[in-house]
Every structure is written in C-alpha cells, then in structure tokens.
Structure 1
Amino acid sequence: MEGSTLSRFSISYSNFSPCERSQSQPAKSPLSNGLLSYRLIDSGKRCNVSLKTFSLAKRTKDYDFDSSRHRAHDKTQKLNLEVSPHRAVSAVRLMRIELGGAFADLLNEKGKGSGKNEMAYIERTLGFRTRDLDDRDLRLVTEIVGGTIRWKRYLDHLITSLCHGERAFRSMEPLLVQILRIGCYEIDKLGIPPYAAVDECVRIAKVALRPGAGNMVNGILRKLALLKDKNFLPLPKVEGDDRSQARALAILYSHPVWMVRRWTKSLGQAEAVRLMMWNNSEPSFSLRANKKKGYTRADLATQLNMLKVPHETSLHLDDFVRLKTGMQVVIQAGLLKEGLCSVQDESAGLIVSVVDPQPGDTIIDCCAAPGGKTLFMASCLGGQGMVFAIDINKGRLRILEETAKLHEVDDVVTTFHSDFRIFAKEKPLKSDKVLLDAPCSGLGVLSKH
C-alpha cells in the first residue's frame, strides 16, 4: 500500500487510535523514497507512510487501520449542530493545507459550490457533520484560514509559551494544533469575544478528539485571553545582536528569519517592519473584465453593484476594478467560472499595457503559465493574430489551455511545453513582440500567497 494511497488517512488522523509499537523499529526502505515503513496489525503487512503525513503526530506508532475504521464508521453520519461549522471547516482546511499539500486559494475558490464534498472531508476528519455553511460562514472561513496561515509562526510561539514548551507542542495531534491556532487567532487578531472563541474551540476539541483535549484548549485559550487583557502576552523582546533581533522580529511579525535579516539589512528595521505588517494585512484584489466575451468594465461594475460588493475602478487600466472584500461573493455568483472576468493584479495588467498588443500581432510569451498576461494579450487581439505561450511547467500550461477555452481566446493562443532556453534554439519563431516576465522570488506578492 503506497504512501499516496494513505494520504487520506492523514486527514482522518484523529479517527485512528495508536496501537502497541511494533517489535521492530520502523526502517527506511530503499524503494520507498524516504518513507517510513509501518506494520498493519490486523494483517501483518507493511505500508509506507510519509513523514510529512504525520509531521506533527507520533511518528513511530503502528496504527490498526482495520479496527479503527470500524470505530470511525460508528461516528459517521452524525449531524452535530453544536459545533460552529466555520471553525470545523477552518480546522479541516488547515489540516489539508499543512498535511495534504492543498492550496488555500483553490479551496476558497471552490467555496459554496462544493459544500457536499467539503462536508465529506469534515465527516472523515472529525467523525461528524455540521450544518451547511452560509455566506457569513464562508467569509469567516476565508478570513480564519488566511489569517492563521499568515500568522502561523506568531501563533505557534504563543501556544508553545502557554503549553509548557516546545516538546509539549510538538507532541500534540495535528487537529489539536489547528484548533488552538484558530482560537489564538480569533482572540488575539480577530477580536472575537474570548468567551465565544474559548467555548467553541473547547467544544470541537472534545467532540472531535477527547475530553482531555478540550480541557487543554480551555486552559491555553483562557490563559491567552487573560494575558492579552492585561497586555502581558509572552512575546520576545527585540534586543541583542542582529541575529537575535531578527529572530524576535520573525516571531512578532510571522516571517522567516532569513527574510527579516535580508530586509532589515537592505531597508532598515523600521521599513522592514512596515513591509511585514503590510504583508500580513488583508490584501486587495483586482478583477479584469473579459472584453473578448463582450463583457466590459461597466458591465462588471453593474454586476458588482447588484451583488453589493464594494469596489472602485482602476486608476491605470480600463478593464480593471479593485476589490478589498467580497471575493467569495464574486466566486459564488459564477463570474469567474463563466469566464466573464478573471482575478488579475494590476501590476500584471500594466506589463501587458507596455507590450501594447494590437490586432494582427504575433506575440511570444516566454514564461507564460499560469497565463494571466497571456489571456489578457489574447483578448486584446480581437481574434486576429497569435500568442505563442511557452512554459516549462506542463501542469500549469494545461490550466492556461483550459482557461483560454473558457475565455474564448483559444483560437489565438498556441501553447508549447518547453524550457524557453532550449525552445529558442530548436524552434525559432518570428514575432512582432516578445514578453519575458522571468520567474522571480515572488516576495512582491507575498501578501496574496
């Protein structure tokens, strides 16, 4: 049984009870690509389980999947109306992101349209279902998941400080860690009344894990609320040498230490702090109306007014509008799914305005995927001309092809899966314009990722 086959068990970790350790210590197999080998108690067979899968769990236990499956099945099909659905969904999404490699933005984009599938994840992970999410719940899920990811280092420091150290924190079940992160974020960053956050997080820990887990959540979150009220949170002081100050700032503003040191060195500490605060603030987004479908910015603005989504027109680009909130509403309304508009940063749009695509132009986009600029340029051609989209990543190029069909510009987009450095030598193309927006560190758009 391969590790990939067992990936779903990482999501359902809380449903499986640890059994006695195998007599033989888990050993790495040369065929398992660094996976740990575990014995199935009921059959005596061995299976490969990724270290990443149990990164926060007890990594050297054997798991009786057969008997645990029966216990998990007994808990299924239960509807729990006492657990707040947005916290349950947030906890499971965070599990999927951290242990399963999911992407927060893709989970958000599925939104309300995949409610049944989402609730199936809840049931497999927690052992019960909650009521379906309403629009307010979805907004809270997006806020909590995004905020918890942004402030993860800071939140983990608080939890570690309040639970008797690093060792105790590392021994916690993955689900318990996510519940504590959510509670800390709600109390310290969202301003949720402590009594509500504590009560709800304790309830989900008791129902999904065990009474003892609820007691631990209760103790840690109550202590956090008390210290916050007294303005006495256990935070590091920015003092000592440059390295010590960078470590403290990395915790306070939840950024990697290397990044803090680089920015402090190049920008100065005050400007580096401003940049980190901006990165962790709620980002704004831009939408581009797809004029190839005859959908103008005025049409988009009218639709946003009907949906009661606050927005403003771009100061620089004719097809763009800016949003601070309401992206979930746009997603649920189907504007992206229908190809009427797309999420695109104005900085990307400005690059296209420099290229200035005109009908009849032949344009080469050298590092095209996932294709935002490619599609914008294609929409400007009016069905006349061609954009050759080249990229080394086959999966992202496939996304570009699918989106080109959705936006009805696939007739003027031709894709090539290749490293452009090789492609330029083997398949020389003639063109009127070339766009080379080379891959970079991505630090400039860190707030949106």
Structure 2
Amino acid sequence: MEGTLSLSYVSSYCFPNPNHCTRWGRIFGPRAFDSMAGASSSTDRTPKLHSGTSSNTADGSPVCVPPSSRKRTHKVNTEVSPHRAVSAVRLLRIEQGGAFADLLSDKGRKALKNEMDYVERTLGFRTRDLEDRDVRLVSDVVGGAVRWRRYLDHLIMSLCNGEKTFRDMEPLLLQILRIGFFEIIKLGMPPYAVVDENVRLAKVSLRPGAGNMVNGILRKLVLHKEKNFLPLPKVEGDERAQARALATIHSHPVWMVRRWTKSLGQEEAVKLMNWNNTDPSFCLRVNLQKGYTRADLVMMLKDMKVPHKVSVYLDDFVRLQTGMQAVIQAGLLKDGFCSVQDESAGLVVSVVDPQPGETIIDCCAAPGGKAVFMASRLRTQGRLWAVDINKARLRVLKETSKIHNVDTVITAIHADLRLFCVNHLMKADKVLLDAPCSGLGVLSKRADLRWNRRLEDLGQLKQLQDELLDSASRLVKPGGILVYSTCSIDPEENEERVAAFLLRHREFAVDPVHRFVPAGFVSANGFYNSDPIKHSMDGSFAARLIRSVSYSF
C-alpha cells in the first residue's frame, strides 16, 4: 500500500441517492446507526451507507453518483457562515463514506466549486464563495471534528438531556453541534460568535426549533467551560474501564487504546494518541529529475511566505506545518516541481537504495509516490515495474510519472501480485512490497481512518501480507533484495510477519538497514522503524531481506 499522501483522494465525493423522500430525509436517509467499530461507548454512531449509482474514484474506491437531474440555482444566503455550511455537509459525506477529511486538492477552484455545489444540493441554498481563510477553517474544523468525534459526542450527549435525545438527533443537526463544540473547546473561538453562527445555520438548513436546540446545548457548554468543568469520565477502575475513559478523553476506538496500553504502557499510549490528534504536518520532496534542487524549493517557499524547515534526514525533503493550500494554488505539485511525501516514506526508499542500472519491481505501487521516487534515483538508467491490482490508481501513477519525467523508466502493470508471480518469470535486483496494512502509523494525517478500522481487520490483513510476501519473494533474483514495508506501528503486521516469512523461506536472511538510514531509525533486529513521537513523522516499518545466491531448495 502506497504510504504517501495522494491528493487525488480528496477529489472523491459522494451525493446520496435523491429517491429517499423528503428534503433532508432523502439527503440524509433513515435514522439508522451502527455502533462504531471496536467501541463500546453509547456515543459512537455512524450512519449506514445509502444505495446509489456506483462509480469509482481515482483510487478505485466506490462512490455514490447522483442521477442526472435538472439543476436548480438557489438564492445566495449571505447570513450563513460559508465555512460552517461546507463543514457540515462534508462531515455528513465523510460519515456516509463518500468523502475524505482533507479539503486540500490540486483541482484548485474547481474543487471549491464542487464543495459549494454540494452545499446547495444538500441544504437547499448557496452561501458566498469560500475565501482562502474559509478553506483553512474548513480543513481545521472538519479534520478536528472527525478526530475528536468520540470526545465531542460524549459531551453533546451529556448536555442534551440524555442518550435518547442524542440517538434521535438528525444527522445534520449532530454535525452542526459537533462543529460548535469543536470551535468552542478546541479552537477557542469567541463563544458568542460560535453560538450565533451555528444557531443560524441550524434554523436556515433545518427549522427554527433545531436552531433553538443548538442554542440551548451550546450555551450549556459555554457555562461548563467557563466553570472549567466539562463532563468527562475519570480514568479509574479496572483495565477495561480505564480504556473506555481514555478512549473518550482522547477520542480513539477502545480496541486501539487497549492494544497500545498493553504493548506500550498507558503513558506512551497517551502520547501516541495526543500525536494522532495534532494537526498533521506535511513534507515536500523536490523533483531532482527535472533539475530542481532543495535550495530552489526553499527559495520558492520563502517567496510565498510559507513557513518551512529542511529535513535533517533526507536531502530532497522540506517540512511544512502550514501552507499546503498555498503550495497547491501556486501549481508546484501540478507542474512537477515537487510532490507531497512523508519523510517516513522517503526513508523506506532509502532502505531499498535504488542504484542506476538496476531492475526494480514495486509490488503494490499505486498511486506511485515511492515508485516515482525510486525511478528518479535510477537517473534514467534501469527499469522499474509498478504492479498494482487497482487499475484506476495505476492511471494516477502513470500521470504522476509523466509529470515527474520518469515515465520512460516506469512500466505500469495491472495485475494481482499473487497471480503475476506465477505467470511471469521475471526476476529483479530489488523488489519492494509496500503491503496493504492497518495504517495505524498515519492516524494524524488520516483523521477518519481510526473510525474505519476494526480489530478483526488485522487478522485478514496479516493473512494477505503473508500471501503477498510469499509472492514478492518469487520475483527476487539470487543475491537480490526484498524490502517489506508498511505504514503501521503494530508488531503483528511488521516484525512478526517478517519472522514468519523467514521461517517459511530459508533462502532469505535479514540485511540490516544501518547502512541506509540514520541510526535512530534502526531497531535491534536491524529493521527500519519510524516512531511518530520520537521522530515527529508518520509511523512506518521496513525490513531489508537478501536472497542467498547458493541456497539449495
């Protein structure tokens, strides 16, 4: 699984089937909710997906597409806050499985127009267009409300006169309350403004009574906050009770809290959850293949007044805490000046150590961040075969390789790796398997991922990882290198998968990574590990395995 951020993800939208009766009934569907995966708190609620015409996004995931209909143009409502209207609709779509938490997109104004169209279709009115400040607010509010959903829902339920009222709440009303609670508690916005704006949104988009309810609940919250007394659970009792309390306070599924507390200890688990709840930072990798240097990128960022720091680990990388929207709007990604890639992913490429003249197979390559980086390291000398089962994501890889001038090096192959290794006799100098995984190392960037993962997923993933490792190993020539990597921090997906593989494949042995990455990333077993707390980057893992030249089967 490609571990870098793909901006194509955020262009994927869902508009529910409009054949579901009344104005917002047909938009929001029946009031049916499932318990959030792995959670036991009664505040966890996720709406069921609506039926609709199936289609595919750029990454191959299904979305709902509205049937063709006569477009109606509604009057612009200048009284409603545009960032709150867009945030409420996007939060609805995230829960219905048709959108991502990040508003950043390389589609520019077209993507913003899409957001406004969704507001019009969903709420029945238009707001003024989003300005740059509004876009930043939408990203902050949506990402924050998704991350803190369990925490926010606990507070909302505590202040709305009981669980039944909370359970019966219309989805849009709940999103408006989540926005208001997040803005008051986490963003520290002036309470009077937050109350006034969200009450207005509820009245206009729903009805006056909904606005009165928002007003009453938000005012209760303001009083509790002023008294410094929020109704949160205490961390006490047995292990299960403590895990439930921590899950609410730090807004994570209970199963994750229990797993991390057991493996890391409670103090480290809390640090990890705090990291996951911080606003994500991003990295840019300059495109050396086009003749640019990191100094060129730094100069460009200075001219744009985008705060940045050069990476201390990788010569091609620059860190950004803010300013990604400016980078996108300036066309730096679209023009191939640079790409978005976390340092943790770049260090996996360092473990592979591509050299000019080599043949490399990237086994789960799309959407192509690592493949493109490896191809650039070949300096037009050598070949890279990018294999992936998802045809749509492979198209993204092909487009990216052209933008970065490495399309003459990369050959995209649409195939299931498990069949490809049987039907093809090719052997490569190096093979990278960036395996599908839980993504537990990237929860800071993927705000919604924590709510979409279940404990049961790990068992299925481990089986798939074993099958893919066995298949990838068949593509390595004698004396060649196999690199297994994930964007997970879970030992069962990382060290344990490698150990099991080595028991099945005596022809492979660990090739320690200390020659390829800084010492602080090298484990006692000779593997690469990036730690979100220690290294301030995504969590990831890589093992470098060498195939014996003379092993007899």
User: What is the CA distance between 1:109 and its match in structure 2?
Assistant: 4.8
Any idea what SS the aligned residue of 2:295 has? helix
TM-score (norm 2): 0.68
2:297 aligned partner: 300
Q: Which amino acid in 1 is paired with 2:16?
A: S
1:139 aligned partner: 136
Structure 1 residues 122 and 11: CA distance shift in structure 2, 3 A: farther
User: What is the CA distance between 1:108 and its match in structure 2?
Assistant: 4.7
1:44 aligned partner: none
Deviates more, 1:374-383 or 1:166-175: 166-175
Structure 1 residues 409 and 124: CA distance shift in structure 2, 3 A: same
Any idea what SS the aligned residue of 1:423 has? helix
Q: Which amino acid in 2 is paired with 1:96?
A: R
Conserved in 2, the CA contact under 8 Å of 1:86 and 1:141?
A: yes
Q: Which amino acid in 1 is paired with 2:142?
A: V
Cα offsets for 1:108-160 (capped at 9, x unmatched): 55454433222111111121111111111111111111111110111111111
Conserved in 2, the CA contact under 8 Å of 1:14 and 1:175?
A: no
Q: Which amino acid in 2 is paired with 1:289?
A: V
Separation of aligned partners in 1, 2:316 and 2:26: 55
1:9 aligned partner: 18
Q: Which amino acid in 1 is paired with 2:163?
A: E
Cα offsets for 1:230-286 (capped at 9, x unmatched): 111111111111111111111100000000000111111111111101110112111
TM-score (norm 1): 0.83
2:163 aligned partner: 166
Deviates more, 1:434-443 or 1:327-336: 434-443
User: Quick one: which of 104, 127, 131 aligns to 1:130?
Assistant: 127
Q: What pairs up with 1:171-182 in 2 under 5 angstroms?
A: 171-182=168-179
1:381 aligned partner: 378
Instruction: Name the one with the larger helix percent.
Output: 1
Separation of aligned partners in 1, 2:290 and 2:218: 51
Structure 1 residues 200 and 109: CA distance shift in structure 2, 3 A: farther
User: Quick one: which of 338, 342, 345 aligns to 1:345?
Assistant: 342
Deviates more, 1:439-448 or 1:318-327: 439-448
Separation of aligned partners in 2, 1:234 and 1:437: 43
Any idea what SS the aligned residue of 1:436 has? strand
User: What is the CA distance between 1:77 and its match in structure 2?
Assistant: 1.9
Conserved in 2, the CA contact under 8 Å of 1:349 and 1:373?
A: yes
User: Quick one: which of 278, 282, 296 aligns to 1:285?
Assistant: 282
Separation of aligned partners in 2, 1:192 and 1:342: 34
Structure 1 residues 110 and 242: CA distance shift in structure 2, 3 A: farther
Larger RCO (CA under 8 A, 6+ residues apart): 2
User: Quick one: which of 437, 443, 447 aligns to 1:446?
Assistant: 443
Q: What pairs up with 1:34-433 in 2 under 5 angstroms?
A: 51-53=48-50, 76-105=73-102, 108-110=105-107, 112-433=109-430
User: What is the CA distance between 1:402 and its match in structure 2?
Assistant: 2.1
User: What is the CA distance between 1:398 and its match in structure 2?
Assistant: 2.6
Q: Which amino acid in 1 is paired with 2:444?
A: S
Conserved in 1, the CA contact under 8 Å of 2:17 and 2:26?
A: no
User: What is the CA distance between 1:225 and its match in structure 2?
Assistant: 1.0
User: What is the CA distance between 1:81 and its match in structure 2?
Assistant: 1.1
Structure 1 residues 17 and 345: CA distance shift in structure 2, 3 A: closer
Instruction: Give 5+ residue unaligned stretches, structure 1.
Output: 22-49, 55-68
User: What is the CA distance between 1:97 and its match in structure 2?
Assistant: 1.3
Deviates more, 1:8-17 or 1:383-392: 8-17
User: What is the CA distance between 1:337 and its match in structure 2?
Assistant: 1.7
Cα offsets for 1:52-106 (capped at 9, x unmatched): 239xxxxxxxxxxxxxx99x96xx5211111111111111111121124212236
Any idea what SS the aligned residue of 2:313 has? coil
User: What is the CA distance between 1:368 and its match in structure 2?
Assistant: 1.4
Q: Which amino acid in 1 is paired with 2:187?
A: L
Any idea what SS the aligned residue of 1:443 has? coil
Conserved in 2, the CA contact under 8 Å of 1:363 and 1:431?
A: yes
Conserved in 1, the CA contact under 8 Å of 2:76 and 2:126?
A: yes
Cα offsets for 1:138-190 (capped at 9, x unmatched): 11111111111110111111111111222212222221111110000000111
Separation of aligned partners in 1, 2:18 and 2:329: 30
Any idea what SS the aligned residue of 1:339 has? coil
Q: Which amino acid in 1 is paired with 2:382?
A: G
Conserved in 1, the CA contact under 8 Å of 2:103 and 2:139?
A: no
